Amino acid sequence: MNRKNTVRPIEAVDAPKEPPEDRKAPDPDPKPADYDVLVVGGGPAGLAAASFCGRKLLRTAVFEGDSWGGILTRWCPDKRIDNYPGVSPGILARELARHMIDDARRADVDLFEGRVEEITPDREVVSGKMRARGKMLILANGSTAAEAGILREREFAGRNGGVWYVVRDPTAFRGKEVVIVGGGESAISLVQRLSGIALRITIVHRQPAFRTQSSLPEEFEPDRGLTVLLDSTVEEILGNDRVRGVRVREHATGKVSVLPADAVVMAVGRRPNTAMFRDIGISLDESGQVRTDLWQRTNVPGILAVGDVSSHLKMIVTAVAQAAIAAHQACLDIRNPYGK
Ligand SMILES: Cc1cc2nc3c(=O)[nH]c(=O)nc-3n(C[C@H](O)[C@H](O)[C@H](O)COP(=O)(O)OP(=O)(O)OC[C@H]3O[C@@H](n4cnc5c(N)ncnc54)[C@H](O)[C@@H]3O)c2cc1C
């Protein structure tokens, strides 16, 4: 097989950002580039799927539209990962991502920086000016932070008004009063990243306990500027042009209080990125995730889905396990299409 490795340099996995011009996917050929397997999304699921396919000598390419390593580099690069077997416990998320990227490189996978804008039912993908066609397509494009549905949330979101869904640069919160809405891994991870930078952090969580495998680390004592309000809801975001505070209701007592805030960060869960698949008839389940069978096959022939876009247990290890299954299925379908 003629395998030309066009892997792009990806040095800054710990500094997720828009890919610079010179590292975008190359300009188009008149006809689409042909691959055995195309993977949409370069997070743990996509990188692992591509590595497994590459090791099976399938000609494979991955498209990543934002940050190689996905959530690991974009959301929690400094998080210590304790629940991924086979690596040193406490490995930093960005280091784990680096290993996954290196795996894909070693497997001779082509890594293209570019957002996939369109997918066709016959497995052609369009990213900027580039088009590529795969005998198999693996969807691994993850999820996006969900809206919390708080009164006036949209008014302050998206125009630098003080409502945030992704924290790329914690120093933007220096000296600020920050309210974090939510009580899962994302909320805890945000506390870790903003602690010592923000003036004060208040977590407001609807439930009486956090939804995490680990609790808040011991170093987050109240005197270090952290307040935890459990069993409470942020009902409204207050301010004129910018966020100035939040109105919070305590469930047990019904007591309403107003907290000052310069920024409100939403950490209330994630929504699978499925909008792009609407036109090609990919079937979703009742929770809006891509529906797959046990072999990660969607309802559209030749299209598989792995990781957070289709998984109910959103973990690195499940994303990677699904990637292994999908790669096996892709290999079977390509090498033995009539023997099923
Ligand atoms: C704060 C936080 C902490 C976590 N901590 C842990 C932990 O300690 N242990 C654990 O096991 N799990 C943890 N998780 C969950 C884990 O990170 C996810 O389950 C895992 O990242 C899923 O991998 P994925 O590749 O499916 O999705 P993602 O990591 O979301 O990657 C998807 C990728 O697809 C790309 N993409 C999307 N659309 C397009 C497009 N159109 N074109 C090209 N690329 C696209 C995105 O840019 C992204 O890079 C945590 C999650 C969060 C939010």
From first to last of its 340 residues, the chain has per-residue pLDDT tens of: 334 444 443 433 333 344 444 455 655 556 889 999 999 999 999 999 999 999 999 999 999 999 999 999 988 888 889 899 999 989 999 999 999 999 999 999 999 999 999 999 889 999 999 999 999 999 999 999 899 999 999 999 867 899 999 888 899 999 999 999 999 888 988 998 898 899 999 999 999 988 876 666 555 655 668 999 999 999 999 999 999 999 999 999 999 999 999 999 999 988 999 999 888 999 999 989 999 999 999 999 999 999 999 998 999 999 999 999 999 999 999 998 765 5
Q: Which of 312, 302, 308 is nearest to 282 (CA)?
A: 302
Task: Output the CA 143–ligand 1 centroid distance in Å.
Answer: 7
Q: Cβ distance 304 to 329 under 8 Å?
A: yes
**What was the pLDDT predicted at 189?**
85
Backbone angles phi, psi at 307, to 5 degrees: 80, -155
115 lines ligand 1 (CB under 6 A): yes
User: Is residue 184 a contact partner of residue 267, using CB atoms and an 8 Å limit?
Assistant: yes
Tokens of 16: 């997720």
Which of 238, 240, 241 is CA-nearest to residue 256? 238
Q: Residue 96 carries which DSSP code?
A: H
What pLDDT does 278 receive? 84
What pLDDT sits at residue 101?
98
* 72 CA distance to ligand 1 middle (Å): 6
Which CATH number is associated with domain 147-266? 3.50.50.60
116 CB under 6 A from ligand 1?
Answer: yes
pTM attached to this predicted model: 0.82
Q: Indicate where the chain has its CATH 3.50.50.60 domain(s).
A: 21-144+270-335, 147-266
The closest residue, in CA terms, to atom 50 on ligand 1 is 185
Q: Give the chain's length.
A: 340
CA distance linking residue 93 with residue 154, whole number of Å = 30
**Ligand 1: distance of its center to the CA of 66 in Å?**
11
pLDDT at residue 78, rounded to an integer? 83
CA distance 301 to 217: 46
* Ligand 1 binding pocket includes 113 (Cβ within 6 Å): no
Q: Is 317 in the pocket of ligand 1 (CB under 6 A)?
A: yes
CA atoms lying within 13 Å on the CB side of residue 163:
25
* Residue 185 confidence (pLDDT): 84
Distances (CA, A) of 149 to 157, 188, 212, 227, 232: 12, 20, 22, 22, 15
Beta carbon of 182 within 6 Å of any ligand 1 atom:
no
Please work out whether the CB of residue 189 comes within 6 Å of at least one atom of ligand 1: yes
**Cβ–Cβ under 8 Å, residues 251 and 259:** no
| 259 Cα–ligand 1 center, Å | 32
Residue appearing with tokens 């400094």: 78
Instruction: Give the CATH fold of the 21-144+270-335 domain.
Output: FAD/NAD(P)-binding domain (3.50.50)
* Ligand 1 pocket, residue 77 CB under 6 Å: no
Nearest to 202 by CA among 211, 216, 214, 213: 216
